[in-house]
């Protein structure tokens, strides 16, 4: 059998050469030289490292965005929270204090004093020494006191002692007056001005007012002293 193979090789040397030529022709040579292969490998490694770095930076940026968005949401409700708007500063004018209601009202023009629904005739200061007007507060009371002629009882000629004296003072301590029983001129209340700046009542009315106006009570005096010769009818 070996003899037959040797024989065939001897018989067909051209065929064997042709086969070797054909095999050599179909071998694929390396596309690039060895140095080029190493250079391409280095470049491929660099591209891989760049890709890794870029990917890391992108991941860090994505994490930062996630944290920022998370901080802008309520941890319980999951809704985005917005800063509370600062309220607008509005300056409102301070309300003016409400005056204390007057306990008694004196009308100099009408020559009356009203307290607890009761209207009583009065006599006020003469034109030269008028009764001051405004809001007054009861500061003292005297069963009997000697008054002096003068605006608001301040200085002047002494008068006889009068009973049931209620001293009044305004916000200005210099503006004072008093409610008295006008015992020295019984016809004056409701008819004409005859006092030195006080508010004169008939004795019975003065006693009644004395019992009802305590310290701290407010008396409002309005109007103006009637001109000399003027008079007002006494209320019934």
CB atoms within 10 A of CB 139: 15
Residue 232 DSSP code: -
Domain 104-222 has what CATH class? mainly beta
Task: Provide the CB-side half-sphere exposure for 184 (13 A, CA).
Answer: 14
pLDDT at 143 over 80: yes
Q: Which residue has the higher pLDDT, 126 or 159?
A: 126
pLDDT at 176 over 80: yes
* Averaged pLDDT for residues 54-77: 52
pLDDT score at 147: 81
Confidence label for 38 from pLDDT (cuts 50, 70 and 90): low
pLDDT score at 225: 74
Mean pLDDT computed over every residue of the chain: 75
Q: Which residue has the higher pLDDT, 80 or 201?
A: 201
pLDDT score at 152: 42
Q: Is the pTM of this model over 0.85?
A: no
Do 220 and 106 meet the contact criterion of CB atoms below 8 Å apart? Answer: yes
pLDDT at 1 over 90: no
């Amino acid at each position: 059998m070996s003899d037959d193979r040797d024989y065939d090789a001897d018989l067909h040397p051209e065929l064997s050469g042709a086969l070797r030529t054909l095999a050599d022709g179909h071998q694929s040579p390396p596309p690039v030289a060895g140095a080029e292969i190493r250079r391409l490998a280095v470049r491929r490694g660099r591209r891989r490292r760049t890709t890794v770095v870029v990917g890391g930076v992108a991941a860090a940026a994505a994490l930062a965005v996630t944290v920022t968005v998370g901080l802008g949401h309520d941890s319980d409700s999951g809704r985005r929270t917005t800063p509370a708007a600062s309220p607008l500063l509005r300056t409102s004018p301070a309300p003016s204090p409400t005056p204390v209601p007057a306990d008694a009202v004196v009308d100099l023009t009408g020559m009356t004093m009203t307290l607890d629904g009761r209207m009583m005739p009065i006599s006020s200061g003469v034109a030269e020494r008028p009764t001051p007007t405004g809001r007054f507060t009861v500061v003292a009371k005297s069963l009997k006191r000697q008054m002096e002629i003068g605006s608001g009882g301040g200085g002047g000629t002494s008068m006889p002692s009068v009973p049931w004296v209620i001293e009044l003072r305004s916000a200005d301590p210099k503006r004072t007056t008093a409610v008295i029983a006008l015992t020295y001129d019984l016809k004056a209340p409701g008819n004409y001005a005859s006092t030195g700046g006080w508010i004169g009542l008939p004795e019975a009315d003065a006693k009644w007012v004395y019992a009802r106006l305590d310290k701290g009570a407010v008396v409002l005096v309005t109007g103006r002293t009637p001109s000399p010769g003027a008079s007002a009818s006494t209320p019934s």
